[in-house]
């Protein structure tokens, strides 16, 4: 047991949805006192840094209801139950962009908001892209616009607050720091 570990005494499920579930845990703190923790459970997600042969970054623009605005992002999506992250990354890239990677590499994984959620995002680098004949096959409730931009154009989108999410900012920084374009 870690010296900061909080032992769960009781879990109260609040909501179970298609993407997340919410629970309130009663926990015993290291000093012996009790506290409550509101927790979001998430199946995990992937995002893909997709680079074209001419050194452009593939992004998608879509409306994000939680923010009541569109965002420009790297292709991403949640893991299906039991799905291996690499397969999810390939699936999401093809669904959202119409591209299939010839080569895909796991770059990093990170937690988005560990203070209250267990969502982990697995980041992949996709290269040697091949356009799929069928094109985009997004989910029925998903509307996206494909963009292929230079790193400078992506950085301009960042300055304009059109790119406003952590995974995409992280991806752009990774591209720039590793001289990938």
Each residue's pLDDT, cut to its tens digit, for the chain (181 residues) gives: 789 999 999 999 999 999 999 999 999 999 999 999 999 999 999 999 999 999 999 999 999 999 999 999 999 999 998 999 999 999 999 999 999 999 999 999 999 999 999 999 999 999 999 999 765 565 667 789 999 999 999 999 999 999 999 999 999 999 999 999 8
Asked, for residue 2, whether it belongs to a domain, the answer is: no
89 and 144: one domain? yes
Residue (of 46, 147, 151) closest to 99 by Cα position: 147
157 and 73: one domain? yes
29 and 94: one domain? no
Q: Hey, which bits of 43-98 come out as E strands?
A: 45-51, 57-64, 69-73, 76-78
- In the 8-state DSSP scheme, what is residue 117? B
Integer Cα distance of 50 and 58 in angstroms: 5
140 and 109: one domain? yes
Q: Which residues of 1-15 are buried (b: 16+ CB within 10 A; e: fewer)?
A: eeeeeeeeeeeeeee
Asked, for residue 144, whether it belongs to a domain, the answer is: yes
Token pair belonging to 21 = 């579930």
29 and 12: one domain? yes
34 and 61: one domain? no
SS3 per residue for 147-165: EEECHHHHHHHHHCCCCCC
User: Residue 150 belongs to a domain with what CATH number?
Assistant: 3.90.79.10
Q: Give the domain range for residue 62.
A: 45-178
Residue (of 25, 65, 64, 62) closest to 41 by Cα position: 25
pLDDT for residue 75: 97
Q: 3-class SS at 176?
A: helix
Q: How far apart, in Å, are the Cα atoms of 22 and each of 26, 115, 144, 164?
A: 14, 14, 28, 25
pLDDT for residue 145: 94
Integer Cα distance of 168 and 123 in angstroms: 10
32 and 85: one domain? no
Strands 120-131, 45-51: pairing is parallel
Number of structural domains the chain divides into: 2
Asked, for residue 85, whether it belongs to a domain, the answer is: yes
88 and 126: one domain? yes
34 and 81: one domain? no
């Amino acid at each position: 047991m870690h010296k900061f570990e909080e032992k769960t005494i009781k879990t109260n499920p609040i909501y179970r949805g298609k993407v997340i579930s919410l629970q309130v845990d009663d926990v015993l703190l290291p000093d012996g006192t009790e506290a409550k923790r509101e927790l979001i459970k998430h199946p995990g997600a992937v995002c893909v840094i997709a680079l074209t042969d001419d050194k452009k970054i593939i992004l998608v623009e879509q409306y994000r209801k939680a923010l009541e605005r569109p965002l420009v992002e790297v292709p991403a999506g949640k893991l299906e139950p039991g799905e291996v992250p690499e397969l999810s990354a390939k699936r999401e890239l093809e669904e959202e962009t119409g591209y299939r990677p010839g080569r895909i590499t796991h770059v990093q994984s990170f937690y988005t908001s560990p203070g209250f959620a267990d969502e982990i995002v697995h980041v992949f680098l996709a290269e040697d892209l091949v356009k799929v004949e069928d094109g985009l096959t997004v989910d029925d409730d998903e509307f996206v616009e494909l963009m292929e931009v230079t790193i400078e154009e992506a950085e301009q989108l960042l300055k304009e607050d059109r790119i406003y999410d952590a995974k995409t900012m992280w991806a752009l920084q990774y591209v720039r720091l590793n001289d990938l374009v």
